[in-house]
Chains A and B, each alone.
Chain A
Amino acid sequence: EPEVTQTPSHQVTQMGQEVILRCVPISNHLYFYWYRQILGQKVEFLVSFYNNEISEKSEIFDDQFSVERPDGSNFTLKIRSTKLEDSAMYFCASSWTSNEKLFFGSGTQLSVL
């Protein structure tokens, strides 16, 4: 079965540094998403992306966050200046349409020190 690939699986960064989390969605999917899960808390929606623009974002997704699909295969999440509270597992997901099931990657564990 096709799968969503996320790299790296673990990333450690210093507070204030920029970090880019990378995802390769399933190749014919058109909708892309980022979710995150802070340790011990719920999985939370961050942003959805379609047709090269953000279609929806949550209140968590502030100006420190941005997403990009730079080359037609990768889908990235950038955090411009990381904070301690950005430490979480970040999940990428993709789907063929907005009403089809989401396929999730295995996540990137981000630790901000």
Chain B
Amino acid sequence: GDSVTQMEGPVTLSEEAFLTINCTYTATGYPSLFWYVQYPGEGLQLLLKATKADDKGSNKGFEATYRKETTSFHLEKGSVQVSDSAVYFCALSDDETSGSRLTFGEGTQLTVNP
């Protein structure tokens, strides 16, 4: 079945540091890939997505590129801020089965210190 694996957390960085959160996936079809973010006390929010190989999703300075050859969708940001502190979830939707049933990774807690 489908699965998503994220790098183990938690991750602690200083402000303006470079962020990478690794995500790899296994899917039978041609999945769409997502990053969701959960700020403290809030629900999961879609951060960015990519629907086909080599697509790059971007939002709020975050980027992730759909790499079919390595089955990866790593999240990056060049300079993190304290306000980026949150839990980040990588997810996929296998369009062959359901356009909206999401398979999530474990989540990575990011803390950015001033």
Contacts and interface: CB of A to CB of B under 8 A. Distances in A.
Interface stretch (A13-21, A62-70, A94-102): A94-102
Contact of B89 (A43, A106, A107): A43
A76 interface: no
Given A42-B107, A43-B107, A98 B99 contact: yes
Interface of B: 4, 36, 41-46, 49, 89, 91, 98-107
Nearest to A105: B43
Contacts of B41: 106
Contacts of A43: 44, 89, 91, 102, 104, 107
A91 B103 contact: no
Nearest to A40: B106
A44 B105 CA distance: 9
B104 A102 contact: no
Given A42-B105, A98-B98, A102-B100, 20 more contacts: A3-B43, A33-B100, A41-B106, A42-B104, A42-B106, A43-B102, A43-B107, A45-B101, A56-B101, A91-B44, A93-B44, A97-B99, A98-B100, A99-B99, A99-B100, A102-B46, A104-B43, A104-B45, A106-B41, A106-B43
